[in-house]
Structure 1
Amino acid sequence: MMYVNARAIIERETPTGTEILVQTRNKPHEGGKWIELPGGQVEEYESLVTALRREVREETGLTVTHVGGLDTKVNARGRGTNVECLRPFAVYQTTQGPVDSMGVCFRCRVEGELLAVGHDAEGARWVSVRQIAEWIAQAPDDLSWVDRAGLLFYLEQASEPDRSE
């Protein structure tokens, strides 16, 4: 069975540069804790963006105010069907590992107060893009294995803040 996930690359600009929101995965039955991006599994017939907003709210307490690529969304409706199509920031697929999954990463902005402990997550915090690069270079196994790919793609592809509305 393949799992489908929606992942949030939540950005904010500070006087010292761009920061990304990360959290620590808190699922004791998985046997470890990893630094990850907010996000999670898309439920049956749930849109990617709805899942993204729900997961960010459950895990961090924050409200997503902007989703990069949402302005490209189209709906194709037919008899008893609806299919959404939009341009996300990135898509990943596992080709080896403990779980067969694919995920869609969106660049986001948020508002609200961070939860100390969220659903399956704790320790949400803002870190610099430089810190992300250091983790990838020096301690890649401290990062969630799927989010490591999304963050590496972000470092290579996101040359400036997403200012689309």
Structure 2
Amino acid sequence: MEVFAKPAVGAIIEKEINGVLHILIQERCKEEHSEDNGLIEVPAGKIREYENIFDSLRREVWEETGLKLTEIQGEEETIVTNCNGYKVMSFNPFYSSQNISGTYSIMLQTFICKATGELLENSDESINLRWISLEELKTIMEENEGAFYPMHINALKKYLNEKLN
């Protein structure tokens, strides 16, 4: 039986605290694929069939964090075409990742976002939700990259490189 990669979305959510840029991180705590529990990640999840990717991102962020996305970088440049019975949406995420080995196959589109609301203490899929400065994030990544969920490492490295250089 053929098995296909699952499409997924992720959010690097920015927030300025006392003049310092922070992003939201959390620790995985899922029933499915529990071997990854405890790894640091950004809010993310799978896209439902025919679900608009931005709606999916808003839903996943809400479910995992209690936050409402107010801005998704690149959403305003989205192009939608209706032709031959298809409705096709084209967009540019901040970063795209595909795992080519591991527990299960996913393709992740990561976006830079802003949000409002109060953070949940934890959710059904994540714990220890917190805002972290980019400098602190960089230090943790340099000292212990293995503490992070692998699907987010490259996007976070790119993000840090762009913001700190």
Q: Same fold (TM over 0.5)?
A: yes
Hey, which bits of structure 1, 4+ residues long, moved more than 6 A? none
Q: Counterpart in 2 of 1:70?
A: 75
Q: Counterpart in 1 of 2:114?
A: 109
Q: Is the 1:27–1:33 contact (alpha carbons within 8 Å) kept by the matching residues of 2?
A: no
Out of 77, 80, 88, the position equivalent to 1:83 is 88
Q: Is the 2:30–2:124 contact (alpha carbons within 8 Å) kept by the matching residues of 1?
A: no
**Matched residues, number:** 160
Q: Cα distance, 1:97 vs. partner? A: 2.4
Q: Cα distance, 1:47 vs. partner? A: 1.5
Letter in 1 for 2:22: E
Letter in 2 for 1:105: T
Q: Is the 1:135–1:143 contact (alpha carbons within 8 Å) kept by the matching residues of 2?
A: no
* Uncovered stretches (5+) of structure 2, i.e. residues with no partner: none
Q: Counterpart in 2 of 1:163?
A: none
Q: Counterpart in 1 of 2:7?
A: 4
Q: Cα distance, 1:159 vs. partner? A: 5.4
Q: Counterpart in 2 of 1:136?
A: 141
Letter in 2 for 1:50: D
Letter in 2 for 1:56: V
- Among the aligned pairs, what percent are the same residue? 30
Q: Deviations over 1:8-39 (max 9, x none)?
A: 00001233421000111111551331111001
Q: Counterpart in 2 of 1:13?
A: 16
Q: Secondary structure at the match of 1:135?
A: helix
Q: Is the 1:6–1:52 contact (alpha carbons within 8 Å) kept by the matching residues of 2?
A: yes
The normalised TM-score by structure 2 is 0.90
Give the Cα separation in 1 of the matches to 2:40 and 2:126: 10
